[in-house]
Amino acid sequence: MENYDIFTLDSGIRVVHSKVRSQVAQLAITVGSGTRDELDKEHGVAHLTEHMIFRGTNKHSAYQISTLIESRGGELNAYTTKEETVLHCTALCRDTARTIDLLGEMIFQPRMKPRDIESEKEIIIDEINSYKDTPSELIFDDFEEQLYAGTSLGRNILGDKRKLKKMGAEQLQNYINRTFTTDQIILTASTNFTHKRFREIAIKSLGHITQSTREFTREKTTPLEAFDITRNKNTYQTHSLIGTYAPSLNSNKRMITAFLTNILGGPSSISLLNQALREKRSLTYNVEANYTPYHDSGVISIYFSCEEPKYEQAHELTEKIIGELCEKELSPAKFNTFKRQFLSSLIISNENSEGLMLAIGKSMVTFGKFNTTDQIYKKLDSLTAADIMAAANEIFSQPLCRLTYK
């Protein structure tokens, strides 16, 4: 960990700095607050807040925010998940101090003009309408809404149009005050500054923020019975999502679940589902397995789309492959191929400083610590084919849920 400097500001904000040999700085502020932290009447406020932090601060207009970064060749972006709000920026290292100042303003001093709020609500409503025309994306939200029915984790990220229309500045500010507390905020950065110099910059930019602590706990999820739902969407293709509960972020089985998911239907063409459904039988153009871990729960799912006459065969093959993973260990040659591919893709992805800073921010806000690439590599390298079979049995011994769009 000698390449990292980890410290906490007087404000309570935690900071991770990585010294790199580059003229480019990657900077991110991760807030441990997302859709699941909304009150029921606030559904959509997390996403709207993300939009509003770009609409101006007490010191800078929306135009000034964009030009301060982009006129210097940088890029500024943000995203909302069910458990985080993330503001991230790529800039030249020489602009690091100026950039952190601006990021701090956007998080802690957003300007909530009624006119801007109404404008952003219209943009988000248009985004929601567009999303509903994309079944390959909508089906994932629909699936989790069923899986976590009646809980905040089941809410989609974009929001509810009816509730969005009623939101104003007071509701936005109440959400920020309640959830954007400094004990839930992480600054991650990779720059070419020394650790000492970067500490000075971080203290000057964010050290004066008033310390605050979260005063609520997240609603716990309750497992529901399995479901098999078909919706008539009048789509050209049939879309299917099959899945069940999986280990949470806090589980020691999280890493092996990610490896199992990659074997089953990761982005590589060698994954079991890609080979069986696409390469060998041409049943689908797109098949993928996904694992989404949350603070206290998780979802593993398999998605594919195909022409309606091919649907039953594709579904039967998917369940057959799951069964084979549970009943028989992968051969040494096949297992080693999957392990090499997964480890190599991990190393390559961590060479991307932006992705690494975002991953560290998520880990810090969840666990208060993070694993280095070497530590992750060692844990994965120790896994065996028997471990994969055991994980598959534990996960897929649960009833599978199925959602189909036709």
pLDDT at residue 2, rounded to an integer:
60
pLDDT tens for 140-150 read 999 999 999 98
The residue type found at 321 is I
123-132 LR contacts (CB < 8 Å, sep 24+): 123/51, 124/44, 124/47, 124/48, 124/51, 124/158, 124/159, 124/164, 125/161, 125/164, 125/165, 127/158, 128/158, 128/159, 128/161, 131/158
pLDDT at residue 351, rounded to an integer:
80
pLDDT at residue 56, rounded to an integer:
94
Q: What is the mean pLDDT of each run of 10 residues along the chain (406 residues)?
A: 88 96 96 96 96 94 91 94 97 96 95 95 94 92 94 94 94 96 98 97 95 92 86 92 95 95 94 96 95 95 96 96 96 94 87 90 93 84 94 94 96
- Phi and psi at 165, nearest 5°, equal -60, -25
Superfamily the domain 4-206 falls into? Metalloenzyme, LuxS/M16 peptidase-like (3.30.830.10)
Q: Where are the domains of the chain?
A: 4-206, 228-405
CB 317 within 8 Å of CB 277: yes
Note whether 4-206 and 228-405 share their fold.
yes
- Alpha carbon distances (Å) from 215 to 184, 187, 263, 392: 11, 21, 41, 38
pLDDT tens for 263-320 read 999 998 999 999 999 999 999 999 999 999 999 999 999 999 999 999 999 999 999 9
CB 117 within 8 Å of CB 67: no
pLDDT at residue 225, rounded to an integer:
81
Token pair 């839930």 is at which residue? 184
pLDDT at residue 379, rounded to an integer:
86
pLDDT at residue 349, rounded to an integer:
83
Task: Quickly count: other Cβ atoms within 10 Å of residue 268's Cβ.
Answer: 16
Fold topology of 228-405:
Cytochrome Bc1 Complex; Chain A, domain 1 (3.30.830)
The pTM is what?
Answer: 0.93
